[in-house]
Structure 1
Amino acid sequence: MFYTKNSGMYILQVIMTWLIFVVIPNINSFGYSKKGQHLWPQKYKSCAGKLQSPIAISTSKAIPLSLPALEMIGYHDFLPMPQIFANNGQTIKLAMNKNVTYGRLPYIFGAIFKQNQQYEMEQLHFHWGIKNNRGAEHVLNGIRYPMEMHIVHRNIAYSNFSHALQHEDGVAVIAVFFQLQDEQNELLQSLVSKLPDVQWAHLELSVNISITLASLIPLNTDIYYIYKGSLTTPPCSEAVTWIIFATPVPISFRQMNTFRILSNGEEILGDNFRRLQDIGQRKIYIRRLVQSSLRVPSGLSIKQDDSRWNFSNLSWFWS
């Protein structure tokens, strides 16, 4: 078969289109309706576990600790490019391209993690509501914000994310709330402006978004809540240490509505948040900067030559 110069260019364009836009198989399909969430444990047994997320958090019931700061390395650098931007029918996800070799990705340590534990960024995604009075997964002091972002990290001691999910210290997720305001948040705009490109469900797009993780989190990260929980989507693996910043990030009504034009394949993509789970006997800790306000949990000790807690015997559950 012979090809003209023009036909060759056409074939090249078709190939390039397939390289950029990829249809995502809907392998892990699940629903967010009340009935749909009720059915999760039938296929994913961990979804009926006792350490499930999200939960309602109350400041008055959280245990204050003089925790170290959460160290976020690479958060002020632009994310390496290209990235993968996807609408998988359940959320919008920004992730690194597994077929590209990057330098060191952003990672976190400190806080309540053991010495030498580091967690490297895997991806980030969002949960939001159709209406302004819902959308976030966690509830803080009775408030459910209109959107919540999760920055998912893998413990680098484990070779891949699937392996990490098999261990109780495998995953760390930073949760960030978004609060509505009239003015546009310019720091979010480079990401928000790409949302129409993945309006339809089950599309992946290779992108070069100039954005830093620091631009997506609050300026004040001094106070955070921390507890042991799970993924909030199937398979609901109970391998997550949750770090939830107390201060929300602003987002304009117009930017919020850009999320609400997206499709899940059948209708508007939204209200993609899991119902609250029973906290059970779990403890929630809150980082406080004033030591005089602390209640000392049992099993903790203070080193004679160090003002920080020794967290090796920290209890995550009420006896």
Structure 2
Amino acid sequence: MNKCLLLIVQLFLIGHFKVSGIHRFGYSNYEQRNWRREHISCGGEMQSPIRIDSFKAIPLRMPALEMIRFHDYLPGPLDLTNNGHSVTLSLPKLPEDDPYQKYIPYVFGARLHNEYVLEGLHFHWGDTNNQGSEHIFNDIRFPIEMHIIYRNRKYDTVGDALNYTDGLTVLGFFFQISEKENKGLSNIVRNLKHVYSVNTRYMLNETFTLASLLPSSDDMERFYTYKGSLTTPPCSEAVTWILFPDPLPISVYQMNKFRNLASDTNQTPIVKNYRKLQKIGSRRVFVRKMKEKIRYHKTNETISYDKWDWMMRPKRSKV
């Protein structure tokens, strides 16, 4: 893969680019079929997104996903960009010796074998409330899916990371329509008006924590994970996906703010910016196996079945 193409992909992922030179591609069925003609990886056997079925996923004991510095304010200025395909939020590119580097969130654990540092995030959505997410979970396609992108720390750039199967990890979150607004999303939604037009970017004059966008830590204990790819050209098979099944809320008002963004100079709205499902093939989807819990009626204490089993065993009588 040549360096020019890798640079284009990196800039698309993190939204940190000169907006006049964006790599263009479309999401119609015809255009998606053309992806593999222009990018060999798009016709690979480990492509994303896929259908996730909780009954077919393989339960596996694995560590929790450790999320470090999620409660620290993100170093700014944060860059919000409409690249014609999606809206992206990216962090400033800081030199390694910059003191603000220590505030950039990173993750490890689960089935990851290294630390992965935050690069940025973006969204995929539809024009109706029953379509938009790229992954389908238990036959449900949600109206919008958020992808948070992390780069394996052992690679210097996203472009470098795309050459390796362990290059990136992407955390995927679903949203479902709610009567109430998602206060965490308001940091992004209220600034979408500044990037209504295609190829526009806006530097936020405020910052927030990544944790404010996410569910509570208890709701992130269970997740699904599999090996896959980017869901946009060049579809590099360099991604470990980690998907959280419980949807977050988003109001109709907030959803419409995404749907109003323009994809071209004719003000055509960005909608249906999701890739069609890919074949899972011989891959396996794993779900983190959790210890089931019961509620102990006398103390209202939550205990594990393992502890309960030990408590309930008949005690040997002393002779």
The TM-score with structure 1 as length reference comes to 0.82
Query: Please, which of 77, 90, 94 is the counterpart of residue 95 of structure 1?
Result: 90
1:200 to 180, 190, 197: 197
Counterpart secondary structure, 2:128? coil
Find the residue that maps to 1:25 and give its secondary structure: helix
User: Residues of 2 paired with 1:215 and 1:60: CA distance?
Assistant: 31
Matched residue, 2:134: 137
Q: Which residue of 1 aligns with 2:25?
A: 30
Contact 1:66/1:290 (<8 A) preserved: no
- Residues 43-98 of structure 1: CA deviation (Å, up to 9, x unaligned): 11100000000000000000001211100111111211101110000000000122
Map 1:265-304; keep pairs closer than 5 Å: 265=264, 266=266, 267-290=268-291
> SS of 1:93's equivalent?
strand
- Counterparts of 1:214-253 in structure 2, within 5 Å, are 214-219=211-216, 220-253=219-252
Q: Note the alpha carbon deviations across 1:191-247, whole angstroms, 9 max, x for none.
A: 110011100001121213322211222221011000000000011000000000111
The code of the aligned residue for 2:201 comes to: E
- For residue 172 of structure 1, what is the amino acid of its counterpart? T
After superposition, the C-alpha distances for 1:116-148 in whole angstroms (9 at most, x for unaligned) are x10000110000011111000000000000000
Which whole-Å CA distance do the structure 2 matches of 1:99 and 1:64 have between them?
39
SS of alignment partner, residue 196 of structure 1: helix
CA distance in 1, matches of 2:18, 2:199: 5
* 3-state SS of paired residue (1:46): helix
Alignment of structure 1 residues 1-319 onto 2, 5 Å: 24-98=19-93, 101=98, 102-104=100-102, 105-114=104-113, 117-219=114-216, 220-265=219-264, 266=266, 267-290=268-291
Output the CA distance in 2 between the equivalents of 1:282 and 1:208: 44
Q: Distance in 2 between matches of 1:23 and 1:64?
A: 44
Letter in 1 for 2:42: C
Which secondary structure state, in structure 1, belongs to the residue aligned with residue 278 of structure 2? coil
Aligned partner of 1:311 in structure 2 is: none
| Cα contact 2:152–2:169 (8 A) shared by 1 | yes
Q: Which runs of 5+ in 2 are unaligned?
A: 1-16, 294-319
In structure 2, C-alpha distance between the alignment counterparts of 1:65 and 1:93, rounded to whole Å: 33
CA contact (8 A) 2:22 2:83 kept: no
Query: CA 1:262–1:27 in structure 2 vs 1: closer, same or farther (change >3 Å)?
Result: closer
Q: 1:27 deviation in Å?
A: 3.4
Question: What is the one-letter code of the residue matched to 1:273?
Answer: Y
**Structure 1: gaps of 5 or more residues:** 1-21, 293-319
RMSD, aligned α-carbons? 1.7
